[in-house]
Amino acid sequence: MTELNEVKAKVAATYDAASDLFDHPANTFWDRFGRDTINRLDLKPGNLVLDVCCGSGASALPAAEQVGDTGHVIGIDLAEKLLNLASTKAKIKSLNNVEFRQGDMLNTGFDDASFDVVVCVFGIFFVPDISAAIRELWRVLRPGGKLAITTWGSDFFEPANTVFWNAVRDVRPDLYKGFNPWDRISEPSTLSAILNEGGVPDPWVIAESGTHPVASPEDWWTTLLGSGYRGIIEQMEPEMVEYVRQANFVSFANARIKEVQANVVYAVAEKT
């Protein structure tokens, strides 16, 4: 298996595992930032939308609501279990204009200029060559269409993020900081630069500060299990996992943590 295929398999396995808690009420940030991304795009009835790394539909479902019955949304992701969650939610909402399928952002399989809008929320950073992924998304976008990339900003989930990684380092130093791929593009300047590398000439990029409430240490642990951190936790022995969990609980109690930083960088570009 090539290095790239190993990365894809790891991402799929991580988010398939995280699917059991991905839509837990403690993890409302997925829906919050997915909808915020869509609301920045001024979608029109009849638009054709591609949502890459769509997860359980946080951006695809609001897009489907906005493009109406004459529009259509396709969500692709590597994680089959998240796609199943998204399909179930679409049925509950009676959204018949959206479909979910397994797909690869480096090779979507769609023709040039197939979509009016292409969206990728919290996913573009998973591939080693981000600019290659951007080139593929730009390729399938029609002239006059919009590309939206949303990624985590600086100090993501702090101060709890540092608490988690310090505990991991205590028991598995080889795993320390083994999952923070968004760090490469957590500033407007770095995201703008890599969009330029991918052939996107004049993106509009803005950082937005925010927080995410954490009602309890249990909710923080649920967030870890319902996100990409699950891949790190799954690699540890049960006693190591328990050590990390208890270390997080103690730190939360001592520091009285009630919220974490949820800073985001939004980028939107129109293709001429």
What are the tens digits of pLDDT across the range 220-263?
Answer: 999 999 999 999 999 999 999 999 999 999 999 999 999 999 99
In a domain, 102, yes or no: yes
Q: How confident is the model at residue 51 (pLDDT cuts 50, 70, 90)?
A: very high
Q: What is the pLDDT of residue 73?
A: 98
* Position 173, amino acid: P
Q: What is the DSSP string of 140-152?
A: TEEEEEEEEEEEE
165 occurs within a structural domain: no
Of the two residues 120 and 5, the one the predictor is more confident about is 120
Could you tell me if residue 224 is inside a domain?
no
pLDDT at 4: 76
Nearest CA among 69, 63, 72, 61 for reference residue 42: 63
Cβ(260)–Cβ(160) below 8 Å? yes
Sheet holding 98-102, edge to edge: 98-102, 72-77, 48-52, 115-121, 141-152, 264-270, 204-208
Greater confidence (49 vs 1) lies with 49
How many domains does the structure of the chain reveal? Answer: 1
Q: What is the pLDDT of residues 63-81, one digit of tens each?
A: 999 999 999 999 999 999 9
DSSP state of 97: S
151 and 264 in contact (C-beta within 8 Å)?
A: yes
Residue 89 lies in a domain: yes
What whole-number distance in Å separates Cα of residue 105 and Cα of residue 102? 10
Mean pLDDT confidence for 184-211: 96
Asked if 171 contacts 240 with a C-beta cutoff of 8 angstroms, the reply is yes
Task: Identify the CA nearest to 78 among candidates 106, 117, 110.
Answer: 106
Overall average pLDDT of the 213-220 stretch: 96
E strands along 46-187, which residues?
Answer: 48-52, 72-77, 98-102, 115-121, 141-152
Task: Let me know if residue 20 belongs to a domain.
Answer: yes
pLDDT grade for 6, boundaries at 50, 70 and 90? confident
The pLDDT, as a whole number, for residue 7 is 81
Domain limits for position 144: 3-158+180-214+259-270
pLDDT of residue 179: 61
Question: Can you give the CATH number for the domain in which 34 is found?
Answer: 3.40.50.150
For the chain, how are helix, strand and coil distributed in percent, rounded to 5?
A: 45, 20, 35
pLDDT in tens, 132-181: 999 999 999 999 999 999 999 999 999 999 999 999 999 999 999 766 77
Domain for residue 75, yes or no?
yes
Does a structural domain hold residue 74? yes
Query: Position 177: which residue type?
Result: K
| Residues paired with residue 150 on neighbouring β-strands, in sequence order | 121, 266
Q: What is the pLDDT of residues 84-134, one digit of tens each?
A: 999 999 999 999 999 999 999 999 999 999 999 999 999 999 898 999 999
Residue 136 lies inside a defined structural domain of this protein: yes
Q: Is the pLDDT of residue 2 over 90?
A: no
